[in-house]
């Protein structure tokens, strides 16, 4: 049975950095080394004394860092059971307790075992522990506040991105619907049987495009939408429209955003083939190049058609914005004239990575 993780659980798990991951622990250890360097330089020591001071301070800070990371990793399982505010102060209290225990142990070790008082300045244990606990409490409060604000900012950015994505989808669907209805109106009186077939294809097409499956789907589903659309246009344009597919079967399971290829095919038909005096071919090809999916849609350029008028800018801009929301800078949409072929063709190239960009978990 599929496990459903509550949204609150996901949000609380991202509130504090995930110190169960090696990358977060290594970053914390590196940060502590930088702090140790700063504290050593601040003491103005030199030569052997500076090396000894840096070693002891580094050891002390790494104890605090690793113990804090271990405690926060262990307590992470309890985060979903409490409200965010409780988690905030719970983590703060854990960090203060860890520093108190490590400071007490360090004082005993440095003074009674190693006989080094460079960190303690010969002060009593209770004074040393209370001083370091106070410092740790202030620093931990500032850090946790920073994590809290960053978490809230990420939630806001994610919500805005989801809203933009839904708005873009809502704009692109009516655009296709109007074009399809125009084609249906042209056939309904002269070719009623073909018009009936078109209605069936339209029904299948909109059932697939409006289905609530999330943002991503296999390339095979997107190709299915293209086939349904091209059958509609084939009824309208007849032999004038020729179609060539060149997509290997191994790419059919590649995850792609829904409605990114079909609008490019629609542009190729409406702004390319339909304006030709004779026949024209739309070619849809797919390749995997350096771990990325490359989809190319090409069509002949009608005589006298300018490059800037090729394609519907609303659909193209929507695709570009949706790709940016899902992949960031890892995906791109390229449009342009290819003069290497006789007569020149208009080429739309879609380059997609294997996976969408991932939100970092808890760091």
Evaluate if pTM is beyond 0.85: no
Q: β-strands 255-257, 241-246: how paired?
A: unpaired
pLDDT digits (tens, 9 = 90+) for 229-251: 888 788 777 889 999 999 999 99
Rg of the chain on CA atoms, in Å: 31
Mean pLDDT of the chain: 76
Q: How far is CA 24 from CA 105, 139, 189, 261, in A?
A: 25, 18, 67, 39
Read off the tokens for 351. Answer: 């380059």
The answer for 92, left when phi > 0, alpha when psi is -120 to 50, beta otherwise, is: alpha
Highest-scoring range by mean pLDDT, 63-67, 75-79, 293-297 = 293-297
3-class DSSP state for residue 288?
A: strand
pLDDT band at 213 (very low <50, low <70, confident <90, very high): very low
Token reading at 294:
């490359």
Q: What is the DSSP letter of 109?
A: I
Q: What is the arithmetic mean of pLDDT over 255-265?
A: 86
> What does the pLDDT look like over 23-69, one tens digit per residue?
888 888 888 888 888 888 877 667 777 787 788 888 888 888 888 88
311: number of Cβ within 10 Å: 21
Phi-psi region of 311 (alpha: psi -120 to 50; beta: other; left: phi over 0): left
Give the number of other CB atoms < 10 A from CB of residue 260: 22
- Report d(CA 12, CA 197) in Å as an integer: 51
CB 351 within 8 A of CB 330: no
- pLDDT of 326 reads 80
Burial label, 97 (beta-carbon count in 10 A; 0-12, 13-18, 19+): middle
Helix (H, G, I), strand (E, B) or coil at 216: strand
Provide the token pair at 2.
């599929």
């Amino acid at each position: 049975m599929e496990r459903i993780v509550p949204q609150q659980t996901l949000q609380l798990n991202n509130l504090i950095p995930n110190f169960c991951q090696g990358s977060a622990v290594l970053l914390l250890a590196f940060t502590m080394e930088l702090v140790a360097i700063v504290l050593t330089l601040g003491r103005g020591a030199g030569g052997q004394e500076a090396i000894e001071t840096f070693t002891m301070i580094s050891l002390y800070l790494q104890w605090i860092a690793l113990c804090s990371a271990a405690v926060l990793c262990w307590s992470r399982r309890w985060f979903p059971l409490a409200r965010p505010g409780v988690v905030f102060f719970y983590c703060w209290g854990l960090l203060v307790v860890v520093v108190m225990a490590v400071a007490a142990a360090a004082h005993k070790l440095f003074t009674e075992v190693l006989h080094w008082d460079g960190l303690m300045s010969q002060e009593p244990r209770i004074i040393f522990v209370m001083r370091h606990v106070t410092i740790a409490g202030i620093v931990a409060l500032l850090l946790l506040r920073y994590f809290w604000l960053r978490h809230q900012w990420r939630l806001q950015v994610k919500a805005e991105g989801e809203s933009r994505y839904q708005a873009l989808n809502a704009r692109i669907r009516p655009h296709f619907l109007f074009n399809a209805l125009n084609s249906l109106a042209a056939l309904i009186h002269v070719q009623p049987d073909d018009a009936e077939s078109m209605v069936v294809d339209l029904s299948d097409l909109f059932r697939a495009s409006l289905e609530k499956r999330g943002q991503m789907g296999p390339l095979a589903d997107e190709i299915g939408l293209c086939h349904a659309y091209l059958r509609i246009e084939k009824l309208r344009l007849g032999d004038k429209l020729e179609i060539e597919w060149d997509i290997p079967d191994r790419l059919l399971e590649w995850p792609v955003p829904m409605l990114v290829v079909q609008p490019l095919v629609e542009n190729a038909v409406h702004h390319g083939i339909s304006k030709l005096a004779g026949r024209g071919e739309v070619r849809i090809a797919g390749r995997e190049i350096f771990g990325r999916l490359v989809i190319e849609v090409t069509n002949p350029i009608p005589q006298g058609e300018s490059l800037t008028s090729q394609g519907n800018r609303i659909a193209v801009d929507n695709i570009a914005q949706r790709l940016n929301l899902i992949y960031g800078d890892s995906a791109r949409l390229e449009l342009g004239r290819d003069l290497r072929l006789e007569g020149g063709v208009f080429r739309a190239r879609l380059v997609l990575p294997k996976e969408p960009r991932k939100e970092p978990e808890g760091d």
